[in-house]
Amino acid sequence: MEGNNAGTPAKPRIAIIGAGMAGILSAIRLGDAGLDDFVLYEKADRVGGTWRENRYPGVGCDVPSHLYSYSFAPNPEWSHYFSPGHEIQAYFEDVSARHGVDARVRFGTEVTRLAFEEGYWNLEASGGVRDRADVVIAATGVLHHPSYPDIEGLDSFGGEMFHTARWDSSVDLEGKRVGIIGTGSSAVQIVSAIVDTAGELALFQRTPQWILGLENPAYSEEDKERFRADPDLMRGLHESLSQTFADNFANAVVDADSTQLKLIEQLCLVNLETNVTDPELRERLRPDYRAACKRLVISPDFYSAIQRPNARLVTEGIDRIEAAGIRTRDGVLHKVDVIVLATGFRVDRFMRPIEVTGRNGVRLEDAWAKRPTAYLSISIPDFPNLFMLNGPNGPVGNFSLIEVAELQFSYILRLVDEIVQGRCREICATPEATERFDADRIEAASRTVWATGCRSWYLDGDGVPAVWPWSFDRFREEMSRPDLEDYERV
């Protein structure tokens, strides 16, 4: 519904939470739109988000470099088809500095409370910081709250132990006995990176993964020179990669019966059958669920690494951790010097642990008591002028989050423009639109590969896939313009 309480300032004050990929994007796009009364709050001491936090050996992106780039800031200097993590972090730092974002960030300032009172968002942060904003953009990310395993004795280990997102670079792994718990992308990347450094490496596998053995070719100096000389070449490459990625992967996983998905599984099978020579090891590495039901792992050399003489795969379940190492349920104590927890992230946190209170005292924790949800992953009923980038139920599982965030931000700008133009003072999704979206999403999710029987971080507490279940073309269409009938405006 539309009210008549307009009259907000022409340039609303905007608070951005988080200076990772989406926060940097938000600041640049707000400046481009002439909305220059904004501030970014960042809990850490520099920009970068996920790529600042994840510094483990071998860290890299599984989206092609020239697609995992801002459309307005192509990078001719990418070294490889898939970028290593340190280059991505350097890229974000460079873009942030060149566009003047750094000067707008309050570093070391963690937002702890947001409350919508008398038409404004009152913000509290560490160090006694207080602020008042007309609009809040939550660019808080998804992969930054480490998930620690529920294993008995986790605090009793006598050596060094850390999560992949809290990597301790002061620990020398040369000649050490290293135990890695987990077999997702981070674990696979670490195994390949450190197997020749460690004295012994034990990978503790709960569930085998589908491994797509794509190579990661380097860009030559000639390639880079062509990119430098012709920005249109990079823009064309970005668009081509975007469409190829959508057609061959993003759109495939939302149709469990798609031809493309069957081809992906066949390629993974060929990789396993061809590159693992020991039949017994091959069977222990063979998944019993559909390819891409869990996040597909890309690695050209994991199978080679796990077959090194100093590497071993442990598939017996973990019973507990002791001072000397990891004891499995068969009673064997696996003595290690270092334990790496490659156990992923708490992907349902989003803005939390920020205490968020919307209109009429509605608490976010209560609104999300059943599951995190938002209309089109952006707006929550009773939380006006609060917009999320990469919020609940977005395409986090099957596309470049940079392109996702760019599309979302263009959509958000149209909502903010309703305020800027004085057509309303407050805007948020209606309960009816949100309930309809969630019901449609849950129904569509039943046809995706994520609902075919595996256990993954894509599923919510009820086992329902919590990611965008339709094609990426539909996502682009939805983000092209808001349907203001689905928004309450007062």
Within 13 Å of residue 124, how many CA atoms lie on the same side as its CB?
11
- Tell me, what's the pLDDT at 5? 44
d(CA 26, CA 409): 7
Query: Looking at the predicted structure, is the pLDDT value of residue 472 above 60?
Result: yes
CATH for 154-213+252-341 (3.50.50.60, 2.60.40.10, 3.30.420.40, 3.30.70.980): 3.50.50.60
DSSP state of 256: T
Segment 243-287, tens digit of pLDDT: 999 999 999 999 999 999 999 999 999 999 999 999 999 999 999
pLDDT at residue 7 greater than cutoff 60: no
Whole-number pLDDT of residue 3: 38
Query: Predicted confidence band at 10 (pLDDT cuts at 50, 70, 90)?
Result: low
User: d(Cα 249, Cα 298) in Å, to the nearest integer?
Assistant: 13
Q: Which whole number is the average pLDDT over 404-419?
A: 98
pLDDT tens by residue, 226-245:
999 999 999 999 999 999 99
Residue-wise pLDDT tens digits, 338-388: 999 999 998 888 999 999 999 999 999 999 999 999 999 999 999 999 999
What pLDDT does residue 90 have?
A: 98
Which segment of 140-144, 304-308, 433-437 scores lowest on mean pLDDT? Answer: 140-144
Cβ contacts of 417 within 8 Å, gap of 6 or more: none
Specify the CATH superfamily of domain 14-47+101-145+346-489: FAD/NAD(P)-binding domain (3.50.50.60)
Is 398's pLDDT higher than 80?
Answer: no
Q: Which pLDDT does position 4 carry in this prediction?
A: 39
| φ/ψ (deg, to 5) at 439 | -65, -45
C-alpha–C-alpha distance, residues 324 and 327, integer Å? 9
| Rounded Cα distance, 427 and 383, in Å | 8
Residue 31 clears pLDDT 80, i.e. is over it:
yes
Residue 437 has, within 13 A of its CA and on its CB side, a CA count of 26
- The pLDDT of 379-401, averaged and rounded, is 93
DSSP 249: I
DSSP string, 286-352: --SS-TTSSPPEE-SSHHHHHTSTTEEEE-SPEEEEETTEEEETTS-EEE-SEEEE---B-TT-TTT
Same fold, 14-47+101-145+346-489 and 154-213+252-341: yes
d(CA 258, CA 47): 39
Model confidence pLDDT, tens digit, residues 438-466: 999 999 999 999 999 999 989 998 899 99
Give me the pLDDT at residue 8, please.
46
Query: Could you give the CA distance from residue 42 to residue 23 in angstroms, rounded to a whole number?
Result: 9
**pLDDT given for residue 193 in this prediction:** 98
What does the CA dihedral 134, 137, 140, 142 come to, rounded to 10 degrees?
Answer: 140
Q: Does the predicted TM-score (pTM) go above 0.85? A: yes
Domain edges within the chain: 14-47+101-145+346-489, 154-213+252-341
Tell me how far apart the alpha carbons of residues 122 and 112 are, in angstroms, rounded to a whole number: 11
Q: What integer is the mean pLDDT of 51-63? A: 96
Residue 481 has pLDDT above 70, yes or no: yes
What does the buried/exposed string (b/e) look like for 421-439 if buried means 16 or more CB atoms within 10 Å of the residue's CB?
eebbbbbbbbeebbeebbe
pLDDT in tens, 15-26: 999 999 999 999
Q: Residue 268's closest CA among 300, 245, 225? A: 300
Query: pLDDT tens, 85-116?
Result: 999 999 999 999 999 999 999 999 999 999 99
Identify the DSSP state of 248.
I
Q: What is the pLDDT of residues 181-198, one digit of tens each?
A: 999 999 999 999 999 999
**Separation CA 394–CA 92 (nearest Å):** 22
- Length of the chain counted residue by residue: 490
* Helix 231-245 and helix 221-229, axial crossing angle in degrees, nearest 10: 110
- Residues 6 or more apart in contact with residue 316 via CB below 8 angstroms: 328, 329, 330, 332
CA distance 160 to 178: 10
